[in-house]
Structure 1
Amino acid sequence: MLSDDQAKASVSLNAWQSVLCDLAACLRFYSRLPVPRLPWETDPHAAPDINGMARVVPLGGAIIGFLPALILAGALLLDLEPWVSAALSVATMTLITGAFHEDGLADMADSFGGATLSRRLEIMKDSRLGSFGASALTLGFLLRVGILATLATRLDPVPAALVVIASAALSRTAGLTPLVFLAPARHDGASHAVGQPSRDAYWLAAILAAFIAIALGWCVDLPRPGIGLMLISPALTGLAMTRISARHLNGQTGDVAGATQQVAEIAAMLGLLIATHP
């Protein structure tokens, strides 16, 4: 028989193991990082627990943003131009994620060329890139690099790098919004197969994302209005994209979540930029 203290310790250990499993599943889902199998995992390739994974999305986003942030800071410290440094950071992020979210942005943009709901959903399943998608990708990369480069001219290398981590956490949390508040637009898609995160899991993720952004911002003394706009902008983006998806697709898909992440990342950095004066 276990004593009360031993039983509590066992429960605590199991809880931490569960969190680490969810985090590993999150990183495998959102990135191409080499995540090893944890000793207590029975099947690392099994379908993830969507609620457990959703709760740790901000932490997973922060981890995904770490290397791009390091690249940005290193390039700036090597006295590379801000545009070159920002481009290297964004390129690193794209490689880490396998252009996972960019693909969603392109597919959702292409769907605006469909005149009917069925045609829009058909376009989103098509792997070919259309003019709307190409335009969205080009503008998305330009905005991300341009905003980050401008921030790099107004902030020191370390604060600029931490902005990358904060926006990675906030934007991936915003990407959950349409998944939580809308039903899947089709019954044969990945979004329907994975399931919907609960609202409790979503609000917990939102609190964690806000905590990460505020903590990082305070550590490097980012302007308080900038931190506030960095929090509000992706939240509003998530709501706006959810509304657009409801009207445009009568539901949500994984591509909508990816598109929301991309727009929310731009919004988070732009919010900070507005409040960061040269």
Structure 2
Amino acid sequence: MGRGRSVKREWDDFRVAAGFLTVLPTVRELDMPPERLARSMGLFPAVGLAMGLGLVIIDWLLGALIPRPVLDGLLVLVLILVTGALHLDGIADLVDGLAGGRGDRERTLDIMKDSRVGAMAVVGVVMLLLLKYLSLYNVPLEHKKAALLLMPCAGRWIQVVLAAFCRYLRPEGTAAAFVEQVGERETLLATATLLLACFILFGLKGVLLLFLLGLAAVVLIRYFDTRLGGVTGDVLGAATEIVEVLSLILVLAVV
């Protein structure tokens, strides 16, 4: 009975994570106290793997029917739709804030809260999507499925790391209930998930991939701490997009 309750708890936590990261209606009847929200962050990379599996299935179903350049663009679009463009909104707000803040921390955060989108935000989103598409398109076919699994997994892992090691700046924000209680358990679970995925998908080169992603995480932590004094929900979303692109570039460079 105890093991059954534990499995159900983990499944419910996974549903909470999926409900937060995607537009899928997975949590309608669940109670979501702060402890469960924080606990579910450890499963963010697992939700990313599930999203990647969906992309792999679409790639398999349509691979013989649609030209490769079009299919890779469709896969990027599907990822955007599944997430409700949540993380793209984060990158747009972050770019706007950094461009308009001119080194002033408070002004940067105020601009990030503004719902209006500036020219720099549009340029940032367009360039990020272009880089993501080109990187995915140039991944060799024999590694395409592995890259599709790694990309969303790594992108959700960075959210856990930033939440654990950075101060959260907006206690009233949407993500506050998730990140304020994130700790060692969630970080270890998320990192173990990514490590296992890297090793299974890419062998020993996957360990190198994880090491390089870890270095990138350290750089992001230092940058956001220095520039903003911590992170917000927008920063977590922006970091997801950055690391998704970075993971594809690293696959091209290392594998």
TM-score scaled by structure 1? 0.83
2:101 is paired with a residue whose SS is: coil
Write the distance in 1 (CA, Å) between the matches of 2:158 and 2:95.
Answer: 18
- Inter-CA distance 72–229: structure 2 relative to 1 (3 Å threshold): farther
Per the TM alignment, residue 264 of structure 1 is displaced from its structure 2 partner at its CA by: 0.7
Write the distance in 2 (CA, Å) between the matches of 1:241 and 1:182.
Answer: 10
Counterpart residue type for residue 233 of structure 1: L
Write the distance in 2 (CA, Å) between the matches of 1:178 and 1:125.
Answer: 19
Write the distance in 1 (CA, Å) between the matches of 2:24 and 2:135.
Answer: 26
Per the TM alignment, residue 207 of structure 1 is displaced from its structure 2 partner at its CA by: 0.8
Specify the alignment match of 1:13 in structure 2. 4
- Please list the CA deviations of residues 68-113 of structure 1 after superposition, one character each: whole Å capped at 9, or x if unmatched: 22223333332x3332111000000000000111111111111112
Write the distance in 2 (CA, Å) between the matches of 1:190 and 1:35.
Answer: 18
Specify the alignment match of 1:182 in structure 2. 166
Specify the alignment match of 2:43 in structure 1. 56
- Inter-CA distance 46–196: structure 2 relative to 1 (3 Å threshold): closer
Write the distance in 2 (CA, Å) between the matches of 1:94 and 1:55.
Answer: 22
Per the TM alignment, residue 45 of structure 1 is displaced from its structure 2 partner at its CA by: 5.9
5+ residue gaps, structure 2: none
TM-score scaled by structure 2? 0.90
Identity over aligned pairs, percent: 25
| 1:1-278 matched pairs, under 5 angstroms | 10-35=1-26, 43-44=30-31, 49-78=36-65, 80-112=66-98, 113-115=100-102, 116-151=104-139, 154-156=140-142, 159-194=143-178, 195-218=180-203, 224-225=204-205, 227-276=206-255
For the 8 Å contact 1:229–1:268, the answer to whether it is kept is: no
After TM superposition, the structure 1 stretch with the greater mean CA deviation from structure 2, 184-193 or 253-262, is 184-193
Counterpart residue type for residue 233 of structure 2: G
Per the TM alignment, residue 36 of structure 1 is displaced from its structure 2 partner at its CA by: 6.3
Per the TM alignment, residue 54 of structure 1 is displaced from its structure 2 partner at its CA by: 1.6
- Structural RMSD (CA): 2.0
Larger radius of gyration: 1
- Please list the CA deviations of residues 167-205 of structure 1 after superposition, one character each: whole Å capped at 9, or x if unmatched: 211221012222111111234323434424112311221
- Inter-CA distance 245–85: structure 2 relative to 1 (3 Å threshold): same
For the 8 Å contact 2:96–2:112, the answer to whether it is kept is: yes
2:132 is paired with a residue whose SS is: helix
After TM superposition, the structure 1 stretch with the greater mean CA deviation from structure 2, 248-257 or 66-75, is 66-75
Q: How many positions carry a matched residue from both structures?
A: 252
Per the TM alignment, residue 44 of structure 1 is displaced from its structure 2 partner at its CA by: 4.7
- Please list the CA deviations of residues 31-67 of structure 1 after superposition, one character each: whole Å capped at 9, or x if unmatched: 0123265xxx6x3566562332122111111112222
For the 8 Å contact 1:170–1:210, the answer to whether it is kept is: no
Write the distance in 1 (CA, Å) between the matches of 2:156 and 2:250.
Answer: 16
1:34 is paired with a residue whose SS is: coil
Write the distance in 2 (CA, Å) between the matches of 1:52 and 1:36.
Answer: 15
For the 8 Å contact 1:62–1:169, the answer to whether it is kept is: yes
- Please list the CA deviations of residues 110-140 of structure 1 after superposition, one character each: whole Å capped at 9, or x if unmatched: 1112132221111111111112211211111
5+ residue gaps, structure 1: 1-9, 219-223
- Inter-CA distance 66–247: structure 2 relative to 1 (3 Å threshold): same
